[in-house]
Amino acid sequence: MSGRTPPKQPQNFDALVLHLVGRIPKGCVATYGQIAALAGKPRNSRQVGKILGRLSSKSTVPWHRVVNAQGRISQRAEPHGTESLQRRLLEAEGITFTKSGRIRMMAFAWEPSIEEFLGSRLKS
């Protein structure tokens, strides 16, 4: 038999990030730093944005549910303007924005259960 069995749950950072983002409930949001921390690398929030930016349009990962710690939609480097799409998708899920275009994190932030937290680092 094989010496080491391939993991059923994502192990590397990239896959783990996508897995976690996929667990954000509809109508909730998480921050880049939050996802990075859950993935085990609290200082890699920026890397999370990089990963999400590489997603193909075919992906079903709810990338739009990830915003920055200030409750604002982060600016993209490329002038493509996926930002407006992100806001539209969030509003379609019932998330509201303040006049200054900010999300009230206190009301919409995703608070993963302890089980989900453990499940993201260990096997389910």
* Site residues, DNA (CB under 7 A): 31-34, 41, 43-50, 52-53, 55, 63, 66, 68-70, 74-78, 82, 100
Question: Positive or negative, the Cα torsion across 90, 62, 11, 112?
Answer: positive
Task: Output phi, psi for 75, to 5 deg.
Answer: -75, 135
Comparison of 32 and 108: residue with beta carbon closer to DNA: 32
CB-side neighbour CA atoms (13 Å) of 5: 5
DSSP reduced 3-state for 83: helix
Rounded least distance, CB 64 to DNA, Å: 8
Rounded least distance, CB 120 to DNA, Å: 17
Rounded least distance, CB 12 to DNA, Å: 10
Comparison of 8 and 40: residue with beta carbon closer to DNA: 40
Comparison of 45 and 120: residue with beta carbon closer to DNA: 45
Extract the tokens encoding 28: 């909730």
Rounded least distance, CB 5 to DNA, Å: 26
CA distance 75 to 22: 22
